[in-house]
């Protein structure tokens, strides 16, 4: 049976692959929950001061949230991309196909095919989706009539 515990600190290849695949959704969830808690605290603080959170302040806060998520995804991008692509990299040895990253795993078995499908989805979401998210952020309208500073993550100055 392939996928024995090898070079991954006591974890098999598929467990490590799943951790990489689940990292972005977990990151988004934790960041989103943090955003909601901080937003709630900010609104509560404003109410104590008999003030309201303006649309401009809320928009700026949301912009910081998006930038935070994009920076974190950008930092994880190389590792995520490599891991999602690695499950597709099989090598022929003596007439049989094995996973290049873990030669104890036979390719094209039902288990490997399932992880290959996850890898294809991961490739669409991470190596392709993360740059598209940056592109979408950089082409979004700039509030307050200001020109965008250089770079997609630059502040708007509002």
Per residue in 112-125, pLDDT (tens digit) is 999 999 999 988 88
Residue 95 CA to chain centroid, in angstroms? 37
On the question of pLDDT at 157 being above 50, the answer is: no
If one compares 154 and 89, the residue with the highest pLDDT of the two is: 89
Give the mean model confidence (pLDDT) for residues 133-141.
Answer: 69
pTM for this entry: 0.71
On the question of pLDDT at 98 being above 90, the answer is: yes
pLDDT value at position 140? 60
């Amino acid at each position: 049976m392939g996928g024995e515990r090898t070079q991954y600190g006591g974890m098999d290849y598929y467990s490590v692959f799943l951790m990489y695949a689940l990292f972005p959704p977990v990151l988004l969830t934790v960041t989103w929950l943090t955003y909601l808690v901080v937003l709630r605290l900010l609104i509560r603080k404003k109410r104590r001061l008999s003030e309201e959170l303006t649309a401009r302040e809320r928009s700026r806060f949301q912009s910081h949230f998006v930038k935070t998520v994009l920076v974190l995804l950008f930092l994880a991008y190389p590792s995520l991309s490599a891991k999602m692509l690695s499950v597709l990299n099989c090598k022929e040895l003596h007439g049989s196909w094995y996973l290049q990253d873990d030669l104890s795993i036979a390719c094209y078995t039902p288990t490997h095919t399932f992880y290959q499908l996850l890898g294809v989805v991961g490739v669409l979401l991470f190596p392709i989706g993360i740059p598209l998210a940056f592109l979408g952020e950089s082409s979004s309208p700039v509030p307050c009539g200001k020109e965008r500073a250089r770079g997609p993550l630059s502040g708007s100055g509002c």
